[in-house]
Amino acid sequence: MTVTTPPAPLARHAARPAFALLGTVQATLIFTLACLAVPLPRIAAELRLDRADLILLSAAYGLTFAGLLLFGGRLADRHGARRALTAGLLVFGAASALAPLAPGYGTLLAARFAQGTGAALVAPAAMGVLRALHPAPAAYGRAMGTWGGLSVLGATAGNLLSGVISAAASWRWTFAVPLAVTAVALLLGPRLLPAAAPTGAARGLDLPGALLATGGITLASYGLVLTDARPWGSPDVLVPLLLGLALLAGFALVERRAAEPLLPPAFLRDRRRGLGLAAVAVTAAGTAGVFVLLSLGLQQGRGWSALLTSGGFVPFAVALLLAGRAAGPLIRRYGAGRATAAGLGTGAVGLALLAATGLDPSVPYVYGLLPGLLLLPAGAAVSFAGASVLATEGVPPGEGGLAGGVLNTAMELGPTVVFAVVLTLGTDAASLAATALAFAALAASAIRLT
């Protein structure tokens, strides 16, 4: 068995720019996930795409991202987080350079799949480097309190900037953001980030588990995505969904018997970690659902332009930034469980207000949308921060990449699963109300846990 010495903590002045670089990379991964949401109508017109093409294009990045995250986390643990981060950035950057040059649908779709593949290695590796940056449990917990809000910040930036960029120039220029961040990260990473030794060099890679997990998550997610355009009973939905679930069942059996499982069953048995992962999934679903429903409602129901729609979400971004700055002190003072409960409760109120009045085109923006657009992000920022701490506390150094893979998988699968289920309720308002109830139920669970 290989014995590794924990890396020495970086000086505080050196840790700050390193954390800033890692945080920018994490936010950019989620920015890239959301960057095509607002300009999809423009892409459809330019490339002459039908609804089925748009569904696959919008889902392509998330499918490979979610499907490969667990395997990416294990690769980071086995080969070293910074090395895995560099490899993932190279794939992600190359795909980000290809996407804006795409002459047609096929090339753009392939680039989005490749972006998700690179992101699936970058995201858990970045958390592994973060663990090397803050090896002390208390310092790592404080860092995760800030880290948790970066993903929802990235999603917000993706929705805001994509509308502005596509209105001012072209949707193709939205890919300049991930390309520029990748270039900066590759340039500065060797200077700023600790070169931690591999923490899981003795572990096997569990290739059967990796294949089953990747295939199961990808196929099941694809089937759920198609429920936007197909009924649940159609073969287009049922075949990939049932096959994906069968592969995931096989994955669960393999992991129970594997000597070095990709996802040790004991990893998910911790109640606090399970609550944190559930809160991350539901919070991601709530914020993503609001962006999708309101983006369509503002443009189709109220006749707003893409630029004006992006402007309508500016209060959301401001509330998110302010609450994100307050999240860390709240967690340190009241604990991650109470902070998560408070965030979920606040988000539930925001969703309920949007469900009650915000989707009616006749209700003014200031009265109908603005209250919910302030309360939801305020709650989401605190919830994400607290839940990220719950989901990663107590994780040994050798499983830092695994923790990052599981956390990001919950973040990616949450919107897919929850949104597909609540859309069956028939109306946008009912979908938001159901999500609000999920927020409230998890908040109650968090209170009981603390």
* Residues 429 and 281 placed together within one structural domain of the fold: yes
* Residues 64 and 127 placed together within one structural domain of the fold: yes
* 93-97, 123-127, 430-434 — most confident range: 93-97
Grade residue 196 by pLDDT with cuts at 50, 70 and 90. Answer: low
Question: In this prediction, what percent of the chain has a pLDDT beyond 70?
Answer: 92
Average pLDDT, stretch 97-108?
94
DSSP line for 70-130: HHHHHHHHHH-HHHHHHHHHHHHHHHHHHGGG--SHHHHHHHHHHHHHHHHHHHHHHHHHH
Final residue belonging to a domain, choices 217, 233, 263:
263
Average pLDDT, stretch 139-156?
79
Position 246 in a domain: yes
Position 4 in a domain: no
* Residues 161 and 240 placed together within one structural domain of the fold: no
Structural domain range at position 26: 12-191+264-449
pLDDT of residue 380: 92
* Residues 56 and 175 placed together within one structural domain of the fold: yes
pLDDT tens track for 260-298: 888 888 888 888 899 999 999 999 888 887 887 787 778
State if pTM tops 0.75: yes
Count the domains in the chain.
2
* Residues 308 and 439 placed together within one structural domain of the fold: yes
Buried b (16+ CB within 10 A) or exposed e, 311-340: ebbebbbebbeebbeebbebbeeeebbbbb
* Residues 251 and 343 placed together within one structural domain of the fold: no
Q: Could you tell me what percentage of the chain is helix, strand and coil, using 3-state DSSP and rounding each to the nearest 5?
A: 80, 0, 20
* Residues 277 and 310 placed together within one structural domain of the fold: yes
Question: In this prediction, what percent of the chain has a pLDDT beyond 90?
Answer: 30
CATH number, domain containing residue 383: 1.20.1250.20
Position 196 in a domain: no
pLDDT of residue 204: 62
Position 433 in a domain: yes
* Residues 95 and 229 placed together within one structural domain of the fold: no
Rounded-to-integer distance, Cα 279 and Cα 50, Å: 35
Position 5 in a domain: no
Final residue belonging to a domain, choices 217, 244, 263:
263
* Residues 105 and 16 placed together within one structural domain of the fold: yes
* Residues 119 and 230 placed together within one structural domain of the fold: no
* Residues 309 and 438 placed together within one structural domain of the fold: yes
Task: Please tell me which residue, 10 or 162, carries the higher pLDDT value.
Answer: 162
* Residues 349 and 388 placed together within one structural domain of the fold: yes
Short-list 327, 375, 271, CA closest to 144: 327
Position 109 in a domain: yes
Per mean pLDDT, which range of 83-97, 207-221, 292-306 is the poorest? 292-306
DSSP line for 342-374: HHHHHHHHHHHHIIIIIT-TTS-HHHHTHHHHH
Position 20 in a domain: yes
Grade residue 244 by pLDDT with cuts at 50, 70 and 90. Answer: very high
